[in-house]
Amino acid sequence: MAHHEKDSPTTYLPLLRTSVDRLLKSASALSDEDVRAASLLPGWTRGHVLTHLARSADSRTRLLTAARTGRDLPQYADADERNREIEEGAARPADALVEDLETSLRRFLTTADGHPQDAWEVPVRWLGDGRRPVRGAVGSMLREVEVHHTDLATGHRPVDWPDFFVALELETTVQNLRDSPEAPAMVLRADEDQVLHRVGAGGHGPRVSGPAAELLGWLTGRTDGRALAVEPSGALPEVPVWRS
């Protein structure tokens, strides 16, 4: 594998370490009352978000272990198990939630750091996606940490997401919209590069522009898009629900 690739796991790891530190700082400031309060995700408290992040880290540690050892370890047994673990863990006290989160994230970072360079392309069993190379574990963990940090509603906004992450994730999100029959016709343009991204039927439709982080925040449902400009002026198009 060529490790100079922009989405190489080794490129993501330093960013992920910083993101983890920022997340843990926010989480550590939460009281027992705070973790019972609503997150930005419908039906989920902050306790649900913190538990989901911990189990997400564990699931990716499992995938790395599978790739390294040759054992057949799925990311999760099934979606029901994943959801049950989140529900069962969500009501714990704040200190238990944070300790679990820190342990799981640090274990993942340590495992990823020591992963053999020749084992990043080994296919493993991802939930819902079948077999894909394990190399996606690090970049997807960064996505989980950054986006769900925002979902904690502690002040971490899309404009706080790392520029490198925003650029790559916007590229991926635009490509997914191009592949989606539900995507509205529109033209997206980030201020940073001025490149026109046409999505939806025929690629015609309003032009939506603004900072890349604000575009990504809107496309992922994390902001209402009020920082974006629409030409011709009017309401923002309705975008399909983003899958994290």
Task: Give the CA-trace dihedral at 151, 197, 210, 145, to 10 degrees.
Answer: 20
- pLDDT value, residue 8: 85
- Mean pLDDT (the chain) is 93
- Output the pLDDT for position 4: 40
Least confident of 1-10, 30-39, 73-82, 199-208: 1-10
Closest Cα partner for 225 from 243, 244, 202, 206? 206
pLDDT exceeds 50 at position 19 = yes
In this prediction, residue 152 has a pLDDT band, given cuts at 50, 70 and 90, of very high
Give the pLDDT confidence score for residue 98 in this predicted structure.
98
pLDDT at 232: 94
* Confidence class for position 2, pLDDT limits 50, 70, 90: very low
Is the model more confident about 2 or about 10? 10
Burial of 165 per CB tally in 10 Å (0-12, 13-18, 19+): buried
Specify the higher pLDDT residue, 65 or 2. Answer: 65
Task: Report which DSSP code applies to 128.
Answer: T
Please state whether the peptide bond connecting residue 232 to the residue before it is cis, i.e. omega within 30 degrees of 0: yes
Cα–Cα distance between 47 and 238 in angstroms, integer? 30
- Dump pLDDT digits (tens) for 30-65: 999 999 999 999 999 999 999 999 999 999 999 999
Is residue 127 within 8 A of residue 79, CB to CB? The reply is: yes
- DSSP-derived secondary structure for 17-40: HHHHHHHHHHHHT--HHHHHSB-S
Q: Are 168 and 136 in contact (CB under 8 A)?
A: no
Separation of alpha carbons 187 and 199, rounded Å: 6
Among residues 57, 59, 54, 52, the alpha carbon closest in space to that of 75 is found at 59
The DSSP element (H or E) to which 104 belongs, if any, is helix 94-113
Q: Is the pLDDT of residue 1 over 50?
A: no
DSSP string for 49-96 = HHHHHHHHHHHHHHHHHHHHH-----S-S-HHHHHHHHHHHTTS-HHH
The residue among 46 and 179 whose pLDDT is bigger is 46
> DSSP labels for 173-232?
HHHHHHH-TTPPSEEEEETTT--EEEESGGG-S-EEEE-HHHHHHHHTTSS--TTSEEES
Q: pLDDT tens for residues 120-130?
A: 999 999 998 78
Q: pLDDT band at 5, cuts 50/70/90?
A: low
pLDDT at 27 over 90: yes
Q: Is the pLDDT of residue 201 over 90?
A: no
Q: What is the pLDDT of residue 3?
A: 39
Q: What is the mean pLDDT of residues 19-33?
A: 98
Using CA atoms, how far residue 138 sits from 7, 73, 146, 195, in Å, is 9, 17, 12, 27
Domains of the chain, each with CATH number or no CATH: 9-156 (1.20.120.450), 163-231 (3.30.1050.20)
Is residue 6's pLDDT more than 70? no
Lowest mean pLDDT among 42-56, 90-104, 155-169, 197-211: 197-211
Tell me what the mean pLDDT of segment 9-21 comes to: 95
The two structure tokens encoding residue 197: 């991204």
